[in-house]
Amino acid sequence: MTLILGINAFHADAAAALIRDGEILGAAEEERFRRIKHWAGFPSEAIRWCLEDGGLRLEDVDHIAINSFPGAHRWRKIAYTLASRPDPRFLWSRWRNKRERSGLAQQLASAFPGQPLRAELHFVEHHRAHLASAYYASSFQEASVVSVDGFGDFASGAWGYGKGTELTIDGQIYFPHSLGAFYTAITQFLGFPHYGDEYKVMGLAPYGQPGWLPQMRKLVRLQDDGTYNLDLTYFQHAGQNLPHQWSHGIPEVGRHWSPALETLLGPARQPDEPLDQRHKDIARSAQAMYEEAFFHLLRALHRLHPSDNLCIAGGCGANSVANGKVTVATPFRQVYVQAAAGDAGGALGAALEVWNRQGHARSRSMATAYLGSRPTPGAIETLLADPASRTALDSAGCSLQTLSDREICSEVAVAISEGLVIGWFQGRMEWGPRALGHRSILGDPRRADMKDILNLKIKRRESFRPFAPSVLREAVSDWFTLDGDVPFMMQVYPIQEDKRPLIPAVTHVDGTGRLQTVTEADNGRYYRLIRAFRDLTGVPMVLNTSFNENEPIVCTPSQALDCFLRTKMDLLVLDDVLIRRRG
C-alpha cells in the first residue's frame, strides 16, 4: 500500500489531498476549517482532517508532495532580475516565500509534534501539478492539457499532452506575462479589490458590450505561436514591491494595474461607487479578450496535439464562461475541468503526479467531488439534542422531523415549488469552490423573484451575480443548446431560447446558465430530489447556490445550523432530519 499526501501551501486556497494506491481518499481546502475565505498559509487542519478521515498518522504516509518547486526556471529568474532590476523588496518577498515552501519538513514537525516523518518529500513544479490535477483526474486515456493562471514558480501557463501515465509539457508562458494577471488587473480596476473577486467581473460581463476590446488588445498581444504577451506599460506587478500575503490568513495581493491604464480606459471605479454602463462594458471587453487569447492558445495546442479531448486547470480554469465555449470556438470536442481547478487543486495534482511517475498503473479518475469531511455517526443527533441548540430552535419557532429518503425528497420538492428557501446538508463536503448538492442552498428556478428572495434572506450579494441550475443529466439536451457532462459546475452553456422564460431564476441576462449535471450514480439523494421536483413541476432542475453567508461554505452540521438560524432560510435538511420554521 502506498499513501501519498499532496499539499498546496503558502499560497491562497491552501489545501491537502490524500491518495492511496492511486485512488483519491479525501481532499479539502483549509478555508473550510479556518473559516477564512481563500485561507493562505500552511494547511495543517486540512492535512489533519485527511489523515484522521483515513484513520492514519503522519508516520503512515509514504510520500508528501507540494505543488511548488523552488528551483524551477532558475536561469530565467536570474536573467529577468539582471535585465529588469526590480525593487529589492520584490526580490526579498519572493525569497521569503520560497524559503517557507522549502521548510516543509519543519512545518510538518511543528503541526504534528511527536509524529515521526518518514515520508519522502517531493517538490512538483506548479504548472505540472495543475496539469496533473486535470489529466490524471479525468477519465481520458489521452488528452491535450492546458493550465492558465496568475503565477506559480515563475510561470503563468503551461500546455502539453497526456497519454496513459505519461504527461509531457510542450511549452510555458513565463513571468511577467499572464492572462490571470490581466484579469486581476481589470478586476481591481473595476473596484473589486479582494483576492478571488475575478468571478464578479465574469458575472458582470453579460450586462455590457465589448466596445473596449480594441483597448484590451493593447494590453494583451497575441503571438503567432499561440502565446500572448502583456504590454507592461499598463501593469505594475512585474517589478514593484506589491503588498501581498500568502502565509497566515486572508490572502492579499497588491494593485496590478499602473496609472497608464486610466489613460487608456478612463477613471478606475472605487469599491463604493455605483456600477455604470462603462464599467459593464469594460467587464465584457475583458472577458472577450480573455476568451480571444485563451482560444488562440487552444487552437495552437490542437494543431500540436489534434486530440478530441481537452483538460483545463489553473486559476483561470474557473472561468466557466470561456470553458463552456471551448467546443464551439476550438476543434476540441470533450472538455474536462477538475472540480478544484485553481491552486487548491494543485495539492491533488502534486499527489497524482508522484503516483503516476513511479511506474504504477494509471491512477483512478475522480468520479465525484464529494471528497471532503462528513459528520461522524451520531453527530447530528447530538447537536440537535444539545440544550443550546434546542433553545435556539425553539426561539426560532422550528419543528424537527426524522424522515426517510423518499419523504425528504418529496417534502423538499413541494417546499421548493412553493417558493421556500432550503438549506441542504448531506454526506461528504464538496472539493473545490462550488456547492454541488451536499452543502447547498436550493430554490425554485421558475420564480423570477427568487434571486431577490435569496439576496434578501441570505446571500446579500451583488444583484448581477447569477445563480446556477442543477439539472438531471438526461434532461440537459432538452433545455440547453449544448450537451455534455458538467458534474462540477465549471462550464456555462446557452439555455434554449424557448426554455429561458420558464427558468428565469437561473437564466443569466445573456441567456446562459452555469450548469451542473446530476446523476443518480454520483449523487443519489440530490438526483432523487430533483426528479421529485420534475415530477411535480415538469422542470428537471433546481436552483443551487453555496450554503454560506459571506463566509466559506459550511463544513459541519453546527455551522449549517448556525447559518440557518441567523438567516431567513425556511427549511434545513441535515441528512435525515428536516427542520422547518413555523409560520
- For residues 103 and 184, membership in a common domain is answered with no
3-class secondary structure, 467: coil
- For residues 431 and 527, membership in a common domain is answered with yes
**10-14, 90-94, 459-463: range with lowest mean pLDDT:** 90-94
DSSP 8-class letter at 331: S
Closest CA to 179 of 203, 159, 207, 162: 159
Candidate ranges 65-79, 84-98, 532-546; pick with highest mean pLDDT = 532-546
- pLDDT at residue number 248: 83
- For residues 439 and 556, membership in a common domain is answered with yes
Closest CA to 298 of 227, 359, 355: 227
Give a yes or no: residue 437 inside a domain: yes
- For residues 31 and 116, membership in a common domain is answered with yes
Instruction: Output the pTM of the full model.
Output: 0.94
Q: Within 10 Å of residue 402's Cβ, how many Cβ atoms?
A: 14
Bridge-based pairing state of the strands 571-574 and 577-581: antiparallel
Closest CA to 372 of 88, 67, 35, 49: 49
Angle CA 456–460–462, to nearest 5: 115
Torsion angles phi and psi, residue 520, rounded to 5: -70, -30
- For residues 99 and 212, membership in a common domain is answered with no
Residues facing residue 161 across a β-bridge:
144, 168
Give the pLDDT mean for 414-430.
Answer: 97
453 or 93, higher pLDDT: 453
- pLDDT at residue number 342: 97
- For residues 182 and 258, membership in a common domain is answered with yes
DSSP 8-class letter at 495: B
Give the pLDDT mean for 198-204.
Answer: 96
Q: Is the pLDDT of residue 490 over 50?
A: yes
DSSP notation for 242-285:
--EE-SEES-EE---B-THHHHHH-SPPPTTSPP-HHHHHHHHH
Give a yes or no: residue 443 inside a domain: yes
- pLDDT at residue number 102: 55
Q: Is the pLDDT of residue 84 over 80?
A: no
Between CA 153 and CA 17 the distance in angstroms is 20
pLDDT category, 92, cuts 50, 70, 90? very low
Q: What is the pLDDT of residues 492-509, one digit of tens each?
A: 999 999 999 999 999 999
pLDDT category, 91, cuts 50, 70, 90? very low
The CATH number of the domain holding residue 105 is: 3.30.420.40
**11-15, 74-78, 123-127, 433-437: range with lowest mean pLDDT:** 74-78
Give a yes or no: residue 544 inside a domain: yes
Host domain of residue 330: 148-337
What is the amino acid identity at position 537? Answer: T
Give a yes or no: residue 359 inside a domain: no
Give a yes or no: residue 177 inside a domain: yes
- The structural domain count of the chain equals 3
Q: Is the pLDDT of residue 357 over 50?
A: yes
- For residues 430 and 499, membership in a common domain is answered with yes
Q: Is the pLDDT of residue 565 over 90?
A: yes
Q: Where are any strands of DSSP class E within 35-107?
A: 40-41, 63-66
Q: What is the pLDDT of residues 122-157, one digit of tens each?
A: 999 999 999 999 999 999 999 999 999 999 999 999
The CATH number of the domain holding residue 399 is: 3.90.870.20
- pLDDT at residue number 244: 72
Q: Is the pLDDT of residue 101 over 60?
A: no
Bridge-based pairing state of the strands 422-425 and 571-574: parallel
- For residues 236 and 325, membership in a common domain is answered with yes
CA torsion angle 27 32 36 37 (round to 10): 60
Give a yes or no: residue 275 inside a domain: yes
Which residue in the block uniquely carries the three cell numbers 453579460?
A: 206
- For residues 446 and 333, membership in a common domain is answered with no
User: How high is the mean pLDDT of the chain?
Assistant: 94
Give the pLDDT mean for 262-284.
Answer: 97
- For residues 160 and 89, membership in a common domain is answered with no
Q: What is the pLDDT of residues 28-66, one digit of tens each?
A: 999 999 999 999 999 999 999 999 999 999 999 999 999
- pLDDT at residue number 539: 98
Last-in-domain residue among 125, 140, 173: 125
Give a yes or no: residue 140 inside a domain: no
CA torsion angle 59 65 67 70 (round to 10): 100
- For residues 8 and 94, membership in a common domain is answered with yes
Between CA 160 and CA 246 the distance in angstroms is 29
Q: Within 10 Å of residue 522's Cβ, how many Cβ atoms?
A: 18
What is the amino acid identity at position 295? Answer: F
Between CA 254 and CA 239 the distance in angstroms is 12
- For residues 319 and 391, membership in a common domain is answered with no
Give a yes or no: residue 481 inside a domain: yes
pLDDT category, 463, cuts 50, 70, 90? confident
